[in-house]
Amino acid sequence: MPNRRTKETEGTRPSPTGSASLSSLPSLPRTERSGFIPPHGGYQKLLSYQKAEVVYDATVRFCSRFFSKYDRTHSQMVQAARSGKQNIVEGSQASGTSKEMEIKLTNVARASLEELLTDYRDFLRTRGLEEWTAEHPYARRLRQLNRQPDPTYETYRKGIEHPDPAICGNVIIGLIKVTNYLLDQQLKRLEQDFLKQGGLRERMTRARLSARAIPPMQGAKTTGSK
């Protein structure tokens, strides 16, 4: 009849290699246990994303009012607005494993919104409507709204849904300009972070070297000791 190991035996029997049980191993320092993949995501907290989301919602509303759904400009503007928003999301998620990809996608978001800005300017120009100057009273009011924390569509609803196309078009242009500025600052920060911290391969190398530098367990029995 085969021998059955009791719970007591299982708990005290040494492993074939003579190493201690997993439960007796010391915990790694917190920085080591966190690994070489840094925190990533959290795009909802980015002001650039919050503004881009408003721009997308506003563009969907704007195009449904002033363009036929069969008009190619309608779909192109909505797609550009969506690209601006979604590439911020993808860049934020990709940042954990590829800073290069984060920078690339953030730049795609910036380019998409620049394309959208041109579409709105074309809308005003082809209809004989003027783009507000920085000193226009409504432009100053829009700057005040842009200083409010946690912006949503509701923050700008009155301007976006105004019956005058010159007003709603200029409000969205102002929002796009602010979002583009924020993305420009975000790209500069990402560039500086990459220069200081490097990419994934460099973090992996540092993590590996750090793991090798962890001192051996204190108090472990050596071969031949009594």
Q: Who wins on pLDDT, 96 or 43? A: 43
Tokens of 52: 């881009």
What pLDDT is attached to residue 217? 55
Mean pLDDT of the chain: 79
What pLDDT is attached to residue 29? 36
From 6-15, 54-63, 120-129, 180-189, the region with the lowest mean pLDDT: 6-15
Does position 7 have pLDDT exceeding 50, yes or no? no
Does position 139 have pLDDT exceeding 90, yes or no? yes
What pLDDT is attached to residue 48? 95
% of the chain with per-residue pLDDT over 70: 66
Q: Confidence class of residue 199 from pLDDT cuts 50, 70 and 90?
A: low
What pLDDT is attached to residue 186? 94
What pLDDT is attached to residue 28? 31
Tokens of 179: 């979002």
| Predicted confidence (pLDDT) per residue in 160-189, tens digit | 999 999 999 999 999 999 999 999 999 999
Does position 213 have pLDDT exceeding 90, yes or no? no
Assess contact for 20 and 122: CB atoms under 8 A.
no
Tokens of 75: 């779909």
- State phi, psi for 218 to the nearest 5 degrees: -80, 140
Q: What is the pTM of this model?
A: 0.70
How many Cβ atoms from other residues are within 10 Å of residue 204's Cβ? 14
Does position 27 have pLDDT exceeding 50, yes or no? no
Q: What are all long-range contacts of 108-111, with beta carbons under 8 Å and residues at least 24 apart?
A: 108/83, 109/48, 109/52, 109/83, 109/84, 109/85, 109/183, 110/84, 110/180, 110/183, 110/184, 110/187
Q: Confidence class of residue 14 from pLDDT cuts 50, 70 and 90?
A: very low
What pLDDT is attached to residue 96? 61
Q: What DSSP element (H or E) covers 189?
A: helix 165-197
What pLDDT is attached to residue 141? 95
What pLDDT is attached to residue 100? 85
| Predicted confidence (pLDDT) per residue in 100-133, tens digit | 888 999 999 999 999 999 999 999 999 999 999 9
For residues 123 and 66, give the distance between their C-alpha atoms in angstroms, rounded to a whole number.
Answer: 10
